[in-house]
Chain A
């Protein structure tokens, strides 16, 4: 009996892609068509949903807000994590292993736990509804992750490389920026990717800590009803546009991530 080897992977991919296809399908339909009939592809193909999102500030500002706090968060997390990871990988100090583990335990609590204290504190110091505020809240989860990933990559670089650079005359800052960072570029890429992803998909803190000025796209999307009823087509188009940045970023770091998996740190 010949076993159809292609069957299982094909079925797997079909099931995996079906919701995404359905989202794509809906994004090119009008809301009336979505609600009125069950169609496998758009009968009346329309770009109206996308046009609406890209021209209406209520929608596109959501993307801009999300992108700005995500980028701020990613940069902040990686910049803070680099020296920390270097210390963990190169120096032995009292309690280093405990501290390293403790960093990870920060990720063990769900973000909801921190929503209330953050809200109170942010309201008190004026960080409420700002991009930097959301970015800072997300560093609580992303810095430990970035430290953990970067430490793995840094420990893969022999400390003799550091010594060789000093022997060659490099000062520490010069060595760190000219030699060390390019050497662990893959690790920085992977760490940045995970920070980006977490911050991009995180809804609860981002929604709780913002109202208008820094409202993220995922929060905008929860607003499903409007004066004209449910805007499902619009929502589908917004969903598609939300997937794109993630897909884009993962395309660039896919090789690095494979390397990270090999090191056992991703």
Chain B
């Protein structure tokens, strides 16, 4: 029961929204579409759902090309970022609506709605209208409606993005319980790498309408195949710099020189793009022979348990992320330590040639 996109593209007007994409989502899998805004997550989901037909290519489900099959006949569910419910229906009727449309008889609808409402803790709100509910409850209603019918494919398009912090955390904890282990394919779009890591499953990184990489979430996080994948899967943004390797020395653009670490050991001499996630640059020494750098502090964001430091190094803005509170005054010079072994090296074509975080 896998869903397979074969050489699918989507063009609207003269613009290409999705470049040629091939992707296979296994049955009962949890898949994350990770990409920034306008990367094409929603468009890709609409193609999967059948809300818009692909310009070229095939979408195969259960071995059949369903590219031309309208969404009503696809047995899919969808939850949007905005809390989309039928405003003049009660919560009960909202959850019941896909069942009623499918022609389920009254008593079965009743028991199914009660069961789902119980699962999503909506039982006390069943007789209310959506606009009388909090944002979190509205989104729960939308999720309940998506779960009510036994869909083959459930699409969640940034369902937590519009919720405030507390509710987002709460619902984020519940989502895996609701969706994992179901006999359906779940696709979850998000802009936040942290969500992808929390949910696990598989991740497809999207960049400007292309799927740059697809595989197990942790594997993609550890070894991104391109600069684009690494950029998508890093928050705060990954630090990138041009480096030149000659022998045992790494020379950074701007003059800094480091001893090439384990990651770069096997690389032939030449020019590369060096990428390092912010949490591998820290104000404290993590390793005895760690490389170090100096930068002028631009912004210091201190939350309760971690410090994010934006600093300028030879005209480039770098970011460091570390545990604990490290109050650097803005404008001061900060000495920071770099874990070179955790860096990535990308060739001239953007492909990753060395590095494994």
Contact = CB atoms under 8 A, between A and B. Distances in A.
Contact of A167 (B77, B82, B88, B102): B77
Given A163-B51, A183-B87, A183-B88, A169 B82 contact: no
Nearest to B70: A166
A69 to B, nearest CB: 32
A158 B84 contact: yes
Interface residues of B, number: 22
A164 B84 contact: yes
A44 interface: no
Nearest to A174: B101
B97 interface: yes
B179 interface: no
A183 B98 CA distance: 18
A20 interface: no
A95 to B, nearest CB: 15
Q: For the complex, would chain A's binding face be called helix, strand, loop or mixed by DSSP majority?
A: helix
Contacts of B125: none
Contacts of A183: 86-88
B341 to A, nearest CB: 46
A164 B149 CA distance: 13
A163 B78 CA distance: 9
A166 B76 CA distance: 10
A158 B72 contact: no
Residue from the set A161, A166, A167, A170 with the largest chain B CB neighbour count within 10 Å = A167
A167 B101 CA distance: 11
Contacts of A182: 88
A179 interface: yes
Interface in A142-189: 158, 160-161, 163-171, 174, 179, 182-183, 185
Interface in A105-161: 158, 160-161
Contacts of B142: 164
Interface string B134-146: 0000000010010
Contacts of A171: 72
A160 B80 contact: yes
Interface string B87-120: 1100000000110011000000000000000000
Contacts of A164: 78, 80, 84, 142, 145
A160 B84 contact: yes
A174 B102 CA distance: 13
A168 to B, nearest CB: 4
Contact of B84 (A161, A169, A170, A185): A161
B75 to A, nearest CB: 8
B82 A168 contact: no
B71 interface: yes
Given A160-B80, A163-B51, A164-B80, A169 B98 contact: yes
A150 B248 CA distance: 71
Nearest to A164: B84
Nearest to B76: A167
Contact of A160 (B77, B82, B149): B82
Residue from the set A158, A168, A183 with the largest chain B CB neighbour count within 10 Å = A168
B51 A166 contact: yes
Nearest to A170: B101
A158 B82 contact: yes
A182 to B, nearest CB: 4
A164 B142 CA distance: 9
Contacts of A165: 86
B49 interface: yes
21 contacts: A160-B82, A161-B86, A163-B51, A163-B71, A163-B78, A164-B80, A164-B142, A164-B145, A165-B86, A166-B51, A166-B70, A167-B49, A167-B51, A167-B71, A167-B77, A168-B149, A169-B101, A169-B102, A170-B72, A183-B88, A185-B88
Interface of A: 158, 160-161, 163-171, 174, 179, 182-183, 185
